[in-house]
Amino acid sequence: MPKSAIDFPTPTRIHVAVAVRDVDRSLAFYRTLFGCEPAKVRPGYAKFEVVDPPLNFTLNQAQEGIGHRGPQHLGIQVKHSDAVAEAQHRMESAGIETLVETQTNCCHAIQDKFWAIDPDGHRWEVFVVTQADAPATEPVPSIVDPDCCAPSCCPDEQQAEVAKPEPDCCAPSCCA
C-alpha cells in the first residue's frame, strides 16, 4: 500500500477546503491567521499545511455564478493507504455508503481516498497523498456545488434519491 508523499507530525490531520471569491486577495488574510506561508500556490488554488493545530487548509477559486463561497468539504488526511482502507471499512461496516477514488489527480496531487456524506449532507473525504505534485490536467471547475449530490443538481434520470456522491452528477469530486 502506498505511503504518504506529504509528511506531517501527527498520524492524521483535519482538512478543510474553502471556496473564495479571489484566492490572491484571500492569501494575505490566511497568511496572517495561520502565521505561515502557503505550501502550494497555483492559479485559483492555495494550500496551507499548518503545524499547530494540525490542518490541511485549501483555498479554491469560486467560479462566478456557480456554487457558493465558504466550506466546500471536510476531510481527514492520513499517512498511509492502509489507514484509508481501515476508515472505509469502518464506515461501510456501519452501513454508510462510500465512493472510492484511487490514484486520482486532485488539486495538483495524486491521492487515494474515499468519500462519505453525513446525514445533513456534509461531504467528508479520508485520503492519502501518494504524489505531492501531479502533472497538469485539463482545467476543471475549481468549486463543487454544495448541493451537487442533491437530486436537484442531477439530470432527470438521476433524480431518484441520491444518497452518496455520484461521479456522473458530482464532478469534480474534490479539491484537497
Confidence of residue 42 (pLDDT cuts 50, 70, 90): very high
Measured CA to CA, the distance from residue 52 to residue 61 in angstroms comes to 25
Please indicate, yes or no, whether the overall pTM of this predicted structure exceeds 0.75: no
Order across the sheet with 70-78: list the strands. Answer: 40-42, 45-50, 55-61, 12-20, 70-78, 123-131, 109-117, 99-106
For residues 112 and 78, is the Cβ–Cβ distance under 8 A?
A: no
Domains of the chain: 12-158 (3.10.180.10)
Q: Which residues contact 133 (CB under 8 A, 6 or more apart)?
A: 108, 109
Strands (E) located in the chain: 12-20, 40-42, 45-50, 55-61, 70-78, 99-106, 109-117, 123-131
Confidence of residue 83 (pLDDT cuts 50, 70, 90): very high
pLDDT (tens digit, 9 = 90+) per residue, 6-41? 999 999 999 999 888 889 989 988 888 788 999 999
Per-residue pLDDT, 134? 80
Three cell numbers at 147? 448541493
Give the residue carrying C-alpha cell 498520524. Answer: 11
pLDDT (tens digit, 9 = 90+) per residue, 107-164? 788 999 999 987 767 788 999 999 988 876 644 333 333 334 332 222 232 322 333 3
DSSP run (H or E) holding 83:
helix 81-93
**Exposed/middle/buried for residue 19 (C-beta within 10 Å: 0-12, 13-18, 19+):** buried
What is the DSSP pairing of strand 99-106 with strand 12-20?
unpaired
pLDDT of residue 45 exceeding 50, the answer is: yes
Alpha helices (runs of H) in 1-53, residue ranges in sequence order = 23-34
